[in-house]
Structures are given as structure tokens and as C-alpha cells.
Amino acid sequence: MAKHNKEEVEILGGKATIYTNVYGVWQFRLWLTTDNKYVRKSLRTKVKDYAITEGEKLYIRILSDIEKGIKYYAITVKEAVEEYLKYQKTRIGDGDFNIVEGRYRTIDTQMRTFLDYVRKDDKINVLNESTLVRYERNGEITTYVAYRKAKEISDTTIRNEMVTINNFIKYCFADAKVTHISSFKYPSMPKKSYDIDGELIRRQTFTSNEYNAFTNALRSYTAKKNSKHLTQNEIFERQMVRHYFLFCANCGLRSGEIRQLKWHNVSTYKDITKRKVEGIFANVLVEKMTSKVRKARRVFSRGGEHIERWKQLCKENNKELEGYVFSINGKEYSRSNLQRHWKKILKLADIDDDRKQQLVPYSLRHFMITERVKSGLSFNQIAIMCGTSVKQIENTYLHLNEEMMRTSAKADYITLEDGTLRVI
């Protein structure tokens, strides 16, 4: 093939340049001060007039993208996710705007899931507002919800993932400045069916007899006669798990809130119950950063004796009362380890095998709420203790309305001097 002499022409008053290569094909060249490098692109023509027209169009398109915040030499989606995770890692620690290590691990998992959904080697500026609503995967159009539903992921998990993904793209827009969009549109999701959830929670809640069998199993799990084959560290871990579960059933805190509870945020005190019995209670401060709803609250609950017994065991094992309350090595105890112990304890419990399949660690929170309703507490009082809204309690625990009606029916009346009745 014959080679041509090179020709060079400035376009748009010198804002960009087109030139021919050795084969006579026109090329485009533009210096980008934002990236400190040239854009070089073939115009795929040997016709000069056509090359000028196409070069001007390309210049206008590049300039328009730059004004929108789109970098021509953009990083990939995978690189953007890695930068976001690096940023989140710097937030691990104490403080209102920081996160705990467990939260970071969740964000990491959610972002890895997002990378599986998109083409991670695409440039970040390829993503648009409709990426979660309409996206081509393997030649088929899908949504993020449909993609996760196909893997039998729960609605709650999908919602949480999309919130994190949206926080990621906001970071890319406002902080990293590598994309032109500030948020993703959310796909539509079916409304939560509280009737179904209520029935599920009813099944997951301990009966009084089942809870007694569970506490008996806890005693057996930590009994000396059943611990002869265990190391001292394993015995200590079982004791920690025992007191963790017992406190769960009394305080009503969420799993993450208890696992992240620190010694300086919990104390115990003695008081007299309504039945004139002296008890040991717990005074707990749930910090904003450990709360699911990111609001600090103070909780007064039963179960202080479990905190005191665990504290004594820590002292006997020369463990410093610093950092996390329920920990064996100073680090946050994992859900997976709690689940492992939970299964072993249930095996020891005198509970029907079919029922064991329905009981989960969160059943202890359900049990606590159910028992408080039976004792006469209102949904409003329980909502304050549990760090949620009255509406959420009402919707989630619809089946407890029957318990409240039974409690109301058992109330006594007294006759006042004016002849009226008053409930006591």
C-alpha cells in the first residue's frame, strides 16, 4: 500500500487539530488540560471536508461531556468501587460520621455484588441513571431487582444493597468527580406484606415453654461436666455466647447493636419490680453509629444480672473490661460464629425438631417484645425501647394485637366516689 504525505489542519480556530496518517486517513487530536494528555481518535475517512465536519462534532461532544463532569479518560467501574471501598475503610472508627468494621464488611460485600451485576471493566461514565432499572447482561435486558430475585435474595437485602450502591454513585459524583450522574433510579419492588411477615414472626417467636427449654440447654452447653474435652478458651467462648443470648432476650436490642455494645456504654443497677421483687437492671447507651436507624438512644432493661455475671467471668479470665462487651479477643464477634453456637444449643434443647428449624437468634428479640406486650406495655413504650417506630412495631407484630386485647380484658376496675369506673 502506498504511503501518503502527512497533512495537518487546525479546526474551530485552533481549538483542535485533524491530520492524516501515513495511509491518508484523517485523525483527530485535542489536548485535554483536565487529564494532561491528548485525545487521539481516527475519523475513519480520507475526505478532508468530511473529516473537518466529523472533527468538529467530536470536539463539541467531548467538550459537552467535560462540562457534565465526564472525564474522557475515565476509570473503570471496578476501579471506582475500589476507590470507594478505600474511602469507606478510612471511616472505620469512633465518631458520628464513622462506621464500625462490621458495617465496612457489609458495604464491601454489597459492592462486590454490584460488580457482578454490571460489566466491571466498562468505564464508570458508561453507567447512567437507569443502570439499576434497565441493564443489558449477557444479551438480555434485566433490572437489579430481577437479577437478585433470581438468586432468591430477600426484598430487605435487595433494598439495603441498592441504598449502598446509590451512596457509591453519589460519592463518584460529588467526591471523586468521575461520573456525571449523582444517583441511580430504583426499580419498583412489591410492597412488603406485613400479614405474611407477621405470621413468620409468630412462628419464629419462642413460646414460654420453648424459652425455658432453651435456657436449660444454655446451662447444659456451659456445664463443667460437658466441657471436659474443651480448651479454656472454648469454655470462655461458650460462656460469652450464653450470656449474650440471655441478655438478648431481656434487652430487645438488635443483633448488631449488642455485638457492637461497649463496656463504657453499659452499667447495671438494682430496683424493685412492680411485683415488689428486687431485680438487677441494665442501663445501655446505643450509640448513633451502631444503631440501624443512626439515632442514639438510651435503653433501660431487665437482664442486668447477665451483664454482671459476664463481667465477673471476664475478670476471672484476666480479660480487660474495655472495648466490646461480648468479645473473646477484643474484636467484634461475628454473626457466623453466633449461628454456629446457636445450632449446637438448639440440638440440646427439648424442643420439637420442626420448631427448631423455625427458631433463629432474632427470635429472642421477638420473644422479648411479645412478653412485654403480654405484661401490658404499649406499642409506643416498646418502640422507644427497641429503637423503631410505633408503625413498624404495629405492622410487624400485628398478631400481638390479640395479646393486647387479652391484657385489656383482664384489667380490673374500681368504683370512684362519683360512681364511675376506672381501669387499674
Count the alpha carbons within 13 Å of 244 in the hemisphere toward its beta carbon.
33
- The tens digit of pLDDT for each residue in 10-51 reads 999 999 999 999 889 999 999 988 777 788 889 999 999 999
Instruction: Report pLDDT digits (tens) over 205-261.
Output: 888 899 999 999 999 999 999 888 999 999 999 999 999 999 998 888 888 889 999
pLDDT for the residue 241 = 95
281 neighbors 375 (Cβ within 8 angstroms) = no
In this prediction, residue 69 carries a pLDDT of 61
Mean pLDDT along residues 400-411:
58
**Higher pLDDT residue, 43 or 126?**
43
Contact 158, 103 (CB under 8 A): no
CA dihedral 61, 63, 67, 73 (to 10 degrees): 90
HEC profile of 259-284: HCCEHHHEEEEEEECCCCCEEEEEEE
Q: Report how far residue 65's alpha carbon sits from residue 180's, in angstroms, rounded to the nearest whole number.
A: 8
* pLDDT value at residue 349: 92
* Non-local CB neighbours of 1 within 8 Å, separated by 6+ positions: 23
Q: What average pLDDT score do residues 134-149 get? A: 90
Higher pLDDT, 386 or 114: 114
CB 202 within 8 A of CB 403: no
pLDDT of residue 175: 79
